[in-house]
Amino acid sequence: MILTIIVFLIVLGILVIVHEFGHFIIAKKTGVKVEEFAVGFPPRIYSKKRGETQYSINAIPLGGYVKMLGELEHSKDKRAFENQKPVVRFWISIAGVTMNIILAWLLLTIGFAVGMSPIVSDPASIPGKKLSSEIILADVVKDSPADKAGIQAGDIALSATSDGVLTEFSTLDQFDQYNTDHKSKVVIYGLKRNDELVTKTATLSDDSDSQIGVAIIEKAEIRVPWYKAPYVALRETYRIAQLTFEFLWAFIAKLFTHGQFVEGVGGPVAIYTYTGLALKAGVMVLLQFVALLSINLALINILPFPALDGGRIVFIILERFYGKKVVKEHIENIIHNIGFGLLIIFILAITYKDILKLFQK
């Protein structure tokens, strides 16, 4: 438990620092005065001032912020955020999201170069050396030969025996071909279930399309040549972002039309739980988990909602389009403060739901 807490705090810290560093470094490079760089939200635990910037570590590790002169208050200083050109403010605002995408890409690049399973891509599409492979029975059709035999979703197919002949599986094609070749026959399947070896006997159907009645996926650990790993990781990052965006769109649609949460949405408690699971599964799985969180953080922050980076970018784009500020500075700040309050309420609601789930288990 202590190790999980430590890793959980490290993971959150990395995600926040990388995100806020994006804002920080672009602000510094464009001459904007940065008053504070903070990890976590107050109360403050530690603080040290270097140059004109205060560096702080705060007690609530659920975010962070970069406080720039003229960001939340009016200032006539030429180095204030509000006095910069819209294009400068745009790049500062989007830099955090960009850094989170870059972090995910770098982590996946390392993972593929060392050897790991793709998260969303078909293993067959990854140009590398297959280090290991597992055939996972992802779903079992009701009343199918597999269902009647007691095969369960999540079982891993290792081998099959028919007429005294043992066949071991290493690819999806082998599994499919074996079932096709043995339709209408009695087959004893060797399976791995929750780290235990089990056997199940099934009488296959003579159906040419589905002899056993399972949906299968291949979990393959693949090592990609170092010079190809960045491209493969970029492709994987794009695909994860695409699927995450589709999920977020469905979540927002259901939230605002039915007032309901889509299953699978989690807050800090869920992240803590999954951090523990990823830690048990190994370094590569933890690496993948951090990459997924980083992409999620990026896409959530780019949403056009007040207080998020996307909300600030909307005002900047409107200003650029109309050639002047559409909303006065103090009104915009009020909108962002309201948005921040709503986000806190939302996080608390998600956390409450996650805690209820823990007790229900």
pLDDT at 293: 92
Six token digits for residue 244:
């995450």
Q: How confident is the model at residue 258 (pLDDT cuts 50, 70, 90)?
A: low
Any idea how long the chain is?
361
Q: Which of 20, 218, 221, 319 is catalytic?
A: 20
pLDDT over 60 (residue 263): no
Q: What letter does residue 82 receive in the DSSP assignment?
A: G
Is residue 10 within 8 Å of 25, Cβ to Cβ?
A: no
pLDDT, tens digit, for every residue of 203-225?
998 876 678 888 888 788 899 99
Give the strand pairing for 214-223 and 129-140: antiparallel
Domains of the chain as residue ranges with CATH: 2-118+230-360 (no CATH), 129-222 (2.30.42.10)
**Where do we find the tokens 């972090």?**
103
Q: Give yes or no for residue 67 having a pLDDT over 90.
A: yes
Q: Which range (200-204, 278-282, 298-302, 331-335) has the least confidence?
A: 278-282
pTM listed for this prediction: 0.81
Is 20 a known active-site residue? Answer: yes
Mean per-residue pLDDT for 50-76?
88
Write out pLDDT tens, residues 102-116.
999 999 999 999 999
**329, pLDDT greater than 80:** no
For residues 161-176, give the mean pLDDT.
88
- Is the predicted pLDDT of residue 227 greater than 60, yes or no? yes
* Tokens read off for 268: 């800090």
Measured in whole angstroms, the distance separating CA 75 from the mean position of its chain's CA atoms is 38
- Contacts with 87 (C-beta within 8 Å, 6 or more apart), sequence order: 320
CA–CA dist 318, 21 (Å, integer): 26
> Each residue of 72-100: pLDDT tens digit?
778 889 999 988 999 999 999 999 999 99
Q: With 70 as the cut, is the pLDDT of residue 361 above it?
A: no
DSSP 304: S
Cis ω on the peptide bond leading into residue 43 (within 30° of 0)?
A: yes
Q: What's the 3-state SS for 107-161?
A: HHHHHHHHCECCCCCCHHHCCCEEEEEEEEEEEECCCCHHHHHCCCCCCEEEEEE
Question: Is the per-residue pLDDT at 44 higher than 70?
Answer: yes
Give the whole-number percent of the chain exceeding pLDDT 70: 91
What span, in angstroms and rounded, lies between the C-alpha atoms of 280 and 267? 20
Maximum CA extent, the chain:
87
pLDDT band at 260 (very low <50, low <70, confident <90, very high): low
Which pLDDT does position 104 carry in this prediction? 96
Q: Provide the total of helices (H) and of strands (E) in the chain, helices listed first.
A: 9, 8
Look at strands 196-203 and 186-193 and give their pairing: antiparallel
Inter-residue contact 301 to 295 (CB < 8 Å): no
Under 8 Å CB-to-CB from 41, ≥6 apart: which residues?
A: 58, 59, 60, 62, 63, 64, 65
